[in-house]
Amino acid sequence: MKKLRLTSKLLGIALLTSLFACGDGSSEVSSNGKASVAVTDATVDAENVNSVNLSVSEVRATADGESRTIATFNSPKTFNLMAYQNGETYFLGEGDVEAGTYSDVRFILSGASDSYVEMKDGSRKDLIIENATTTGYQINGTFDVAANSTTNLVADIDLRKALVTQAQNSSETSFKLRSTARVVVEDATGEIKGSVEGQANSSERLVVYAYKKGSFSASEEDAPAEGRTRYEGSINSAVVAEDGSYTLAFMEEGDYEIIVASYSNTDDDEDLEFQGRVESELLIDGSLFNTLSVTSNTTVNANIMLK
């Protein structure tokens, strides 16, 4: 009897040890999730820019003040931001990362001269990015990575706001990429699309801007300070195509108001000049609105009626 009891106790201890071991292993697995990162853009204001090229060697994200690696590349990923607009994306990479809440994504660039702006005449201009090869180009936005699942992220650079000129000396001009970009969870976004109808003083370009409801201020149309742009507070923007269509992609859930601005080349230089805001209304399902609501994984079809 004593031998039987002893054997039973040993079997019980072995079983408990096995369960704890399995529990520890499962805990380690469940503490990680996967993050996938793609890149998109809106248009750039400068008419003489042909491409804006980034060369990324690593993607990181920040949680609790700690930088964590999502993906590293044996050969840097080089791509032209301007090639990915109107909902098109460039897949940058993915990797396992500790589950948690993150405050940004950072692109670690491969070298100071590997990222650049190419002009339409074929010349190259320096692209200045603060901390490009150390802490990296910062793209802000809060997102969660859950254990044992994949979070699909989209980094929206929006060159219209991010890319500004910066004088190097009296004869040379370079470009600076500002940290005005946003990162969103793709599955938590929708899109706004439609057509623009009406005339806008024979403008050469119309641009549609999306603002969080109630956040637009007319002061944003004033001439911007050096190193800044008009419509700084907009969430997203899109150039109206020749056929009148527009697309505002990767919009987070919420209520938005739409602003339309007109641009023309009035002084025969390489850039279009701001002409002013064009009064407009939104036509959704046959009814006129001043604002619209976006929910995830849906498309809001909104035609813009210019007054």
Q: Encode pLDDT of 52-108 as tens digits.
A: 999 999 999 999 999 999 999 999 999 999 999 999 999 999 999 999 999 999 999
- Which three-class secondary structure state does DSSP give residue 222? coil
Q: What is the mean pLDDT of residues 13-22?
A: 45
The answer to whether residues 264 and 203 touch, using CB atoms and an 8 Å cutoff, is yes
Domains of the chain, first to last: 32-180 (no CATH), 188-307 (2.60.40.1120)
Would you give the distance in Å from CA 72 to the centre of its chain?
20
> Residue 159 is inside which H or E element, if any?
helix 159-162
To 5 degrees, how large is the angle CA 233–CA 181–CA 123? Answer: 110
Q: What is the DSSP string of 271-291?
A: SPEEEEEE-EEEEETTEEESE
- Which three-class secondary structure state does DSSP give residue 138? strand
Give the pLDDT of residue 169: 59
Residue 207: pLDDT band with limits 50, 70, 90: very high
CA distance 90 to 21: 42
Q: What percent of the chain has pLDDT over 70?
A: 86
Closest Cα partner for 184 from 208, 207, 210?
210
Q: What is the DSSP string of 14-52?
A: HHHHHHHHHHHHHHHHHTEEEEEEEEE----S-TTEEEE
- Which three-class secondary structure state does DSSP give residue 154? strand
State the pTM of this model.
Answer: 0.86
Q: What is the mean pLDDT of residues 41-48?
A: 78
Q: What is the mean pLDDT of residues 187-206?
A: 86
Q: Encode pLDDT of 217-263 as tens digits.
A: 999 999 998 888 999 999 999 999 999 999 999 999 999 999 999 99
Give the pLDDT of residue 170: 54
CA distance 129 to 272: 25
CA distance 79 to 151: 22
Torsion angle, alpha carbons of 163, 59, 115, 42, to 10: -30
Give the pLDDT of residue 90: 98
The answer to whether residues 169 and 52 touch, using CB atoms and an 8 Å cutoff, is no
Quick one: CA dihedral 95, 162, 215, 287, positive or negative?
negative
Q: Where are the beta strands (DSSP E) in 240-278?
A: 245-252, 254-264, 273-278
Give the pLDDT of residue 272: 81
- In DSSP terms, 292 is beta-bridged to 256
φ/ψ of 169, rounded to 5, equals -155, -165
Q: Encode pLDDT of 130-165 as tens digits.
A: 999 999 999 999 999 999 999 999 999 999 999 998
